[in-house]
Amino acid sequence: MRKDIHSDGIPVLCESCEVRHRGLCGVLEPDQLVALAKTSTKHKISEGAELIGDAERIENYSNVLSGVVKLSKVMADGRQQIVGLQFAPDFLGRPFRAESDINVEAATEVSLCSFPRSAVERLMKEQPELEHRLLQQTLKELDEARDWMLTLGRKTAVEKVASFLLMIARNSHPNGQAGRQSLSFDLPLKRADIADFLGLTIETVSRQLTKLRAEGVISIENNRHVTIGNLARLEACAGA
């Protein structure tokens, strides 16, 4: 029924796309994909670059192809809280609202595929399945946000750090936790970002990491590369 999607009519731009099947585009018919591809562009964004500032107009929607994007809120006096992390193949952009009330920034080098607002909104009308997929992603983000509220409001510093490591680990190894062995991955965030994500200070994050390391639950090389020796123990530390 859908095997035609693999044959003719797929735009060149999309043919090699890493996220085409998992992302929003996956629900589009070949001709719709062609229409969208005409107006879409891929680009690389370097670490630290701001994609959308607070209260700026959103002109584009994007798919994250690789890298990590952080969504954050800032108070007048500079206190900052990261309220979401987007990985491939997440969708970026707040539908049905001209202004964003959050800051969007590349946490690592990021590559994106962007479309103008109007093109996406037009497609949404003619293809309800697109809106359905969008609803699914939004519900997923809502679930994540609520999980994180529990972490922010009720967990201790160690539990927060352990929860963060687990979240990153799960994202780095999407294939179920079949691998009982030691997991390892690179942290996509620097300490300051981790602190802003967990509602802690840099120093506290650092102390909890060394504590976990001292207890042999994890090991760290080069400040960024983490190996989880015993997954179950880390989960226990996270208060799961």
CB of 147 to a second copy, least distance (A): 8
167 binds, among DNA, a second copy, none (CB under 5 to 8 A by kind): none
CB of 181 to a second copy, least distance (A): 26
- Which two three-digit tokens encode residue 207? 């102390």
| Rounded distance between C-alpha atoms, residue 6 and residue 97, angstroms | 34
CB of 217 to DNA, least distance (A): 14
Within 10 Å of residue 78's Cβ, how many Cβ atoms? 6
- Over the range 117-152, which residues count as b (16 or more CB within 10 Å of their CB) and which as e? eebbeebbeeeeebeebbeeeeeebeeeeeebeebb
- Which two three-digit tokens encode residue 146? 């609520």
39, 46, 136, 156: which one binds DNA (CB under 7 A): 156
21, 42, 43, 146: which one binds a second copy (CB under 8 A): 146
**Residues 177-206 within binding reach of DNA (CB under 7 A):** 190-192, 199-206
The DSSP 8-state label assigned to residue 212 in this structure reads H
| Rounded distance between C-alpha atoms, residue 162 and residue 185, angstroms | 14
**Closest C-alpha to 98, from 39, 46, 58, 128:** 58
152, 157, 167, 231: which one binds DNA (CB under 7 A): 157
| Binding region for DNA (CB under 7 A) out of 25-33, 37-45, 102-110, 150-158 | 150-158
Q: Does residue 26 bind a second copy (CB under 8 A)?
A: no
- Which two three-digit tokens encode residue 46? 């370097």
Cβ atoms of 26 and 14 within 8 Å: the answer is: no
CB of 178 to a second copy, least distance (A): 23
Residues near a second copy, by CB under 8 A: 71, 73, 75-77, 79-81, 83-84, 94-97, 101-102, 128, 131-132, 134-136, 138-139, 141-143, 145-150, 152-155, 198-199, 239
State the residues that interact with DNA by CB under 7 A: 156-158, 190-192, 199-207, 209-210, 220, 222-224
